[in-house]
Structure 1
Amino acid sequence: MKLLITTIFALGFSSTAFANPYDDCILQNMKGAKTKEMVFAIERACIGKTSVDIPDKVSTLRQVNAFSGNYNTGYGDKGTKFLIKLENTLPYDITEIKLYFINKKAPSIKSYVVDVFNEPLPQGAIVVELGEPGLAQIIKANQSRAFVVNVSDLAGLDHFNENYDWVIYATKGIPLK
């Protein structure tokens, strides 16, 4: 009797009933993947297929800090970047954010769409291959993440707080079940 109950309990949890749409997509499509490239392609496709627009009423990210500086992204790009540290408290796994910079001196707004959340690398490090999309393109719910956005096309970043205000919103995500 114990074995039957344990087996029924295990079978109940092995289904995708507790998975989110991304996990369901991965489980349905990963069977034939034989190479790392195939796995990464399936992950990217599942991120795109399962990401939805996050409603405005829940899209505001509240626990966010940001710093301008010369952070290494590993691609040899020069110029100032914006390091963002956030905690995802939304009922979504975030797959895209929109970052707005409001110029205080010459009223204008510049926006950036971010869908890859790579942490800064140690100085001198370079990227030799792309990382796993499931790790670089998703900020899981209740997860903290630090990532870099290249904002070198903004003028006056050496006095960032004097020159700019900024706002960040989560725009796409994978709903939690």
Structure 2
Amino acid sequence: MTTTTETPESPESPESPEVQPEPRRSWLKEHSELGVCALLLALGVLVLTDALTMDVDITQRGPIGPKTVPLVVGVGLLVIAALLAVDVLRGGHGEAEGGEDVDLSEPADWRTVLLLAGVFLATAVLIDPLGFPIAGALLFWGAAFALGSRRVDRDPLIAAVLSLLTYVVFNNLLGVPLPGGPLMGVL
């Protein structure tokens, strides 16, 4: 009785397909969220540096001075950057955006983005000559228009109320001086 031993086919034989390893993503691509960590770190350092070099009047209105909020925000940015970096290095990553009501196959709505950018730039230009109440009302109304609201009967009224309320809260209650423009003597 003769036994024959079958030899496995060699990988070079034409019958077996060549097996190639899957292309491996680079380490940086797998940890791309570290870019967000770096951005948060840089922003936190910038905020803290600015807050610590802020020239502040010694007299304060209360126990919390003007440096408090920037210091808290700066430290918060640094803590979030560190926690996110640890999570990413441990293998965590954000989920791919599914979008509840967003069709990801549609292109970006550049018209809305450009309208909003124009409204913000116009506010920056108009805030000194017109004052915050008027420029703020234009900002709120322009943003509502850019985002799709076409209610010209109520949007300007809501924008004016929001702007005046914001001006009064910041200027009169919190002591943050905002340009009043023509309404300087009225409010």
Same fold (TM over 0.5): no
TM-score by length of 1: 0.23
Task: Tell me which protein shows more strand as a share of its residues.
Answer: 1
Higher relative contact order (CA 8 A, sep 6+): 1
TM-score by length of 2: 0.22
